[in-house]
Structure 1
C-alpha cells in the first residue's frame, strides 16, 4: 500500500448512505474550502453517458450568496413561486412528506401563515452558507439528466461523509432568471435545482426527522422465469 493510499480517508459507504438526509436548518459556520473541494472531486467520478460529464455547478458563498438570497426573497414577495405540479396519482407523496416535515416543526396543516413562513426559508437556503446551482445543457436529454442525478447523489454522499449537511432544492428552479442574473449562468444551461450545503443544526426538530422508504418490492420487479 502506498503512502498516498494510507493517507486517504476511509468511510463506511452503507452508513453514509443511511445517514444522508435533507437538512432544513444550517449553522452559519463557514464550510472549509478544502472539504468542499474533496466532495466535488469525488463527485467528478460519477458515471455519465459517453463520459460527457454534463453537470455544471455554480457555487455561491459569502456576499454573492447573500445577494442571491435577497434577490430571490424579493422576487418571492413580488411573484409567488409556481410549485411544479405532480400528476394526481403522485400528489399524496408531497402531502404526506409535508405533513411530516411541518408537523415536526409544530406547524399544523391549517396554519397557513406558519407554512408560508416555512416555505420562504427555501429561498434563504435554510441558512446554509453555501448554495450550488445544478445545471444541464439544453440540448442534452434524459440519459444525460440521469448522469447529472448520479453526480448530485455522489456529491451529497461525499458531503455527508465529511460531516456536512445538504438539501436538494428543486424550489430554486422556480426563479431561473434571477439566478442567471446573479450568478452569470449562460442561457443554454437549464437550471435543474439547487443544493444547500453547510453544517446541520441538529437542535432543529425537522433535522431529526427520518422519512421512511418503501420496501424494495414497491419499485423493483425481478423477472426470472416465464
Structure 2
C-alpha cells in the first residue's frame, strides 16, 4: 500500500473515473470531483472506502478556493475535467469559447493555486494536465479546443518551472476508441480513424491510464508533453 492521496479533478466519469479506479487498485487514496455533489458522492461510494467525492466546477474559478477548502495534503493531482465543443470561426460563439478557455486555462491554474499549501514540495509529487491532440491535429470546429490544448503546453512549462521540485506534465490523448464519447460512434467512423494508425488500432482508456500513471509518478519526468494516439500522426 502506497498511502498516497491523489486528487482527480473530473474523476467521476469516463477516463477520469478509470484513472481513479486504477489508482485505488494500486493502493492509493483518491479524492474525485464532479460538478454535482450527488454524483461525486455516489461514484466515491461505488469505488469504496479509499475514495472521497467532492463537488468542484472548474468553469467557475472564483468558487474553487472554497470548494477545495477541506482537501487535505495531497501527493498528486490529475486535472482531467474537460468539455467538448465544436465552434467554427464562421459561426463563432464567444460564450462557448469563453467557457472552455476558463475551464481549462484558468480553472486548472486556480485549482493548483488553491492547493499550493497542500501539495507536497517534492519531486515525488506530480501534476498531470489534460490537453489533447487537437492542439496540432485540428479539425473543422476545433478552433477553441485546439487553442486551449496548445495553451496547456505553455501552462505546463511555466508551472514546472515555478513549482519545482514538484513535477508538472501534460497528456494529450488522441481518439480513445473505447471511451464513452467514442465507443458509441458508428463503426464506419471509428474504422476511418483506425485505418490512419500504423497498427490499425485506436488508443484505449487503459493506454491513457497507463500514461497518467507514468507522468504522475516517474520522478525523472517534468515539463513533458506526452501524446497517446497509437502513432496516428505519422501515417
- The structure with the greater share of residues assigned to helix is 1
TM-score bin (small chain): under 0.3
The TM-score with structure 1 as length reference comes to 0.25
The TM-score with structure 2 as length reference comes to 0.24
